[in-house]
Every structure is written in C-alpha cells, then in structure tokens.
Amino acid sequence: MAKSKPSVSIVMPCLNEAKNLEALLPKLKAAQPEAEILVINDGSTDRSAEICEQHGINVVSHPEPLGNGAAIKTGARNAIGDIIVFMDSDGQHAPEDIQRLLEKLDEGYDMVVGAREPGSHASKKRLFGNTVFNKLASFMTGQKIEDLTSGFRAVRAIHFKKFLYLLPNGFSYPTTSTMAFFRSALPVAYIPIKAGKREGKSKIKLLKDGLRFFVIILKIGALFSPMRLFLPTSAAFFLLGAINHISTYAATGKFSNGSLLLYVASVFIFLMGILSEQISSLHYRNSESEREH
C-alpha cells in the first residue's frame, strides 16, 4: 500500500502586520494550495485578523500580545498537519522556499531550517551577533549550527510538540527548538535562503534579545549537555586556583585562602555537572518512553 503524503500546516505569528499580510497571503496560497495556513494573531491592534479572514485564512487570536514564542506554541497546538512550517508574517520569507524545506525534510530529517545568507541579515551588527551565537551553540551541542535564530523552518509535529514546555514566550523559540532537536539526536538540516527586507519596524531589540538568546543557549546546554558547560568551567577555576597557589607559595611560602576557595569552587561546579547529567539522563529516558507509546 502506498504511503500517504503527510499533511502540512503553515504557522505564522502576527503582530500588526496588516500591510505585509495583504501582499503575502495570496502568494502563500498559490505556493502551497493544499496546506493549512494558520495565522496566530498576537493581540494586533490593526486589521491583521480581518485581512486574514478576507483571504479565507484560519486565525487564532490572543486577547493581548503574549510574545512570538507564545504565538508559536499556540500555532503548534492548533495545527493539524503532520509537518509544521513556521515562517514570519512580515514578508521576509519567500513562500516559494517552503517546497525546498519540505523536499529536504523528505530526505529523513526531523527539522529543516532556512539559513539566511550573509547578505540577508538586517545589519552587520546582527550578522556578527548571529555568528557568535552560532559558534557558541555549536560548541554546546557538538553540532554545526548554521543559523540559530532563523524563524523559517519545517518540523515534524510529533517531535516539535514534545518540546513546547521548553520554549520561551519571547523571540528565542528558534534557539531553543534547534538545540533541543540536536541534543535529542533528531536530525536537523539547513538550506540557504535569501531573506527579504521586512516592511515596517522590527520588533526584536538587538541588545535585550541578544542577551536573552545567550542565556537561553546556556540554559538549554545545561539541560541537554551539562558537562560541556560545567567541565570547562570547573577546569578554569581549578587552573586559576593552581596559578594562585603557585604564585602565593613562591612569594610567601604559604597556602592562601584564595587558592582554597578556587579549588573548592572547582569541585562544587564539577559535582553540579554530574548532578545535571543525571537529571538530563532522566529527560532522555522520558523522551524515549514517549516515543515507544
């Protein structure tokens, strides 16, 4: 018996994107006529919801803005497709690229991310920041991550929905979901895309959200690969303690309290890493149990 083609849902978070939706929705329907299109209206005060309804698009509305990540979670819970495509509603992502994501997913991947080419970033500062985050996240996961913060991706719904409890309500859902897939041994692939220039003002604050992305990377790394975080930190404290010990002993012939403090900190950090590894193993065990059921 021939295997049925998986159904596709396209989820777009939306906050005051009426102008962009007017141009985007006809192109999206033409590119993916069989897909469910679901717009999550995150408390918009313009005509966003009305425009979606005029085009026959399903809309789920939040009574007030809850955040991009919150809209993603609402979309994932309401999507009926076996595959969910997440994309921005500001016109940056080309509807024609959705088919490329789906074709790559058919090769056996569980997530495919549209990795923005260098010239597609809004500014050199954002390109630099994204490059730094990619390198840090690659270290934490042990996998090469080409675009950590891209919001254009296709995922298998059965896997993505397991990680909804991890996703923050802000703009860092791509960061969290990418690292969660990698650390759970779910294959992730990238395809290069050219992101268009958005109309209107971006809702991402570079410094505030950049710091948040950094914290998210550390949190997810500590959950899924604790010793990649704790072991180097413990080693650094031990090395500082040894340097302080040697220099102090050479100068005074005594063992200093500073050296003792650094050695103790090193041991405590190492033990915290071991404890975190045990907690992480419980997470994997629970995930395996969910797959079996």
Mean pLDDT of 255-282: 88
pTM: 0.76
Q: Tell me whether strands 83-86 and 36-42 are parallel, antiparallel or unpaired.
A: unpaired
Closest-CA residue to 114 (of 162, 148, 69, 75): 148
Q: For residues 43 and 196, which has the higher predicted lDDT (pLDDT)?
A: 43
pLDDT at 209: 60
What are the tokens at 214? 């950094």
Domain carrying residue 234: 226-292
In a domain, 69, yes or no: yes
Total domains in the fold of the chain:
2
Has residue 185 got a pLDDT over 90? no
Listed range (206-210, 230-234, 248-252, 280-284) with the worst mean pLDDT? 206-210
Same domain, 131 and 241: no
**Model pLDDT, residue 207:** 56
The CATH number given to whatever domain includes residue 195 is 3.90.550.10
Distance CA 229, CA 175 (A): 17
34 and 176 housed in the same domain = yes
Of 126, 116, 124, 185, which is closest to residue 151 (Cα–Cα)? 116
Mean pLDDT of 254-265: 92
Asked if residue 99 is part of any domain, the answer here is yes
Distance CA 56, CA 239 (A): 63
Residue of 30, 59, 38 whose CA lies nearest to 47: 59
Continuous segment of H or E residues that includes residue 66: none
Same domain, 186 and 286: no
pLDDT greater at residue 223 or residue 26: 26
Q: Could you give the CA distance from residue 226 to residue 134 in angstroms, rounded to a whole number?
A: 18
* Same domain, residue pair 230 and 190: no
User: Is 219 contained in some domain?
Assistant: no
Residues 20, 128 within the same domain: yes
For residues 122 and 41, membership in a common domain is answered with: yes
Residue 16 sits in the same domain as residue 157: yes
Query: Is residue 163 within 8 Å of residue 60, measured between CB atoms?
Result: no
Of 139, 170, 204, the last residue of a domain is 204
Same-domain check for residues 29 and 173 = yes
> Does residue 158 share a domain with residue 240?
no
pLDDT in tens, 119-148: 655 556 666 777 777 787 777 777 788 888
CB 43 within 8 A of CB 17: no
**61 is a domain residue:** yes
Answer yes or no: is 212 within a domain. Answer: no
